[in-house]
Amino acid sequence: MASITLPNPGVLAASRAVQATTEQPWVRWSLIAIAVAFLGVFLFLPLAIVFSSALERGVSVYVGALREPDAMAAIKLTLIAAGISVPLNMIFGITAAWAIGKFDFLGKSLLITLIDLPFSVSPVVSGLIYVLIFGLQGLLGPWLAAHDLKIIFAVPGIVLATMFVTFPFVARELIPLVEAQGTEEEEAALTLGASGWQTFWRVTLPNVKWGLLYGVILCNARAMGEFGAVSVVSGHIRGRTNTMPLHIEILYNEYQFAPAFAVASLLALLALATLLAKTVVEWKARQQSTELQRMSGEAL
């Protein structure tokens, strides 16, 4: 180690201290190799195979697979499902964060646990519960059939199932943030004559904007990629009730591998964009918090 070439006793002691709380180089590099190999096999390989298989039969097959009418319909339906469920769950997340993060009340931790519930329910069961209510054999089935309303094996069912599986994302991201902000700033705004809405828009929301953005991005990624729950309620009608993941499944089961991976590559790109956005948002949030610390330091 460096201690051999640096006889200075101070440095010698320091290097020994370093050695006591770190590992020998061979241990260090073996651990790094194990970690990199594990992540490489489980994360890099799946990503690489998606893009290489998508382009295996050339760009024209790739573009053709995306411009085919059934694929276009699937992309459109995926955008509709995410376009409805993400804003609704965002409004819910903000409301829940205000109620839970800013107030103390009985049953608060129970409420938080209940909000997390959809995360622990299997996607298949998440779809099934709506079939049991709105399906032909379901509780409301006969009534819906009599009024010629279709929810299961139709778009509303797909939207409902998507809403269920993405339900906790924004709320779970925001609640701890809003809670950590405390209530002093809002109280100051109110005392200075701001209305409740003004306080919310100008004080609370700017403080948690990065967390909110992150929650929405995660919510959107899951909404566009959900497979199990949507598969149960969709009925797999080509061109009508197929979302992108369901379209991928059909193509793959028909041995149309290149087109299947072409559609999959769009979702993989979405996943990569999500990860990039996460990294940027985390960096911005850290920047904001150090700035706040600096400002409060100056105020003192």
Partner 1 sequence: MRLQLKQKSILPGFGLALGFTVLYLSLLVLIPLSATFLKASSLSGQQFWHIVSSHRAVASYKLSFGASGIAATINLFFGLIVAWVLVRYNFPGKRLFDSLVDLPFALPTAVAGIALTTIYAPNGWMGRFLAPLGIQTAYSRLGVVIALTFTGLPFVVRTVQPVLEDLDKEVEEAAASLGADRWQTIIKVLLPAVLPAALTGFSMAFARAVGEYGSVVFISGNMPLKTEITPLLIITKLEQYDYAGATAIAVVMLVASFALLLTINLLQAWSGGRLKRAHANELPETAEFEAAR
Q: What is the footprint of partner 1 within residues 62-121 (CB under 8 A)? A: 92, 95-96, 98-100, 102-106, 111, 113-118, 120-121
Residue 300 neighbours by CB under 8 Å, 6+ apart: none
- Of 79, 60, 55, the C-alpha closest to 264 is 55
Closest to partner 1 by CB, 42 or 148 = 42
Member of 66, 227, 258, 284 binding partner 1 (CB under 8 A): 227
Closest CA to 81 of 282, 187, 221: 221
Least Å from the CB of residue 147 to partner 1: 19
Considering only residues 142 to 171 of the shown chain, the ones binding partner 1 according to CB under 8 A are: 160, 163-164, 167
Applying CB under 8 A, the span of 5-13, 57-65, 194-202, 291-299 interacting with partner 1 comes to 194-202
Size of the site for partner 1 (CB under 8 A): 97
The answer to whether 47 contacts partner 1 (rule: CB under 8 A) is yes
Which residue is associated with the tokens 């809403």? 163
Q: In the complex, what is the shortest distance from the CB of residue 27 to partner 1, in angstroms, rounded to a whole number? A: 8
The window from 7-15, 24-32, 63-71, 292-300 that contacts partner 1 (CB under 8 A) reads 24-32
Give min distance, CB of 295 to partner 1, in A: 23
Q: Read off the DSSP letter of residue 240.
A: T
Closest by CA to 73, choosing from 239, 249, 226, 260, is: 239
Rounded alpha-carbon distances, angstroms, from residue 269 to 13, 73, 107? 50, 19, 41
Which residue has 């938080």 as its token pair?
A: 112
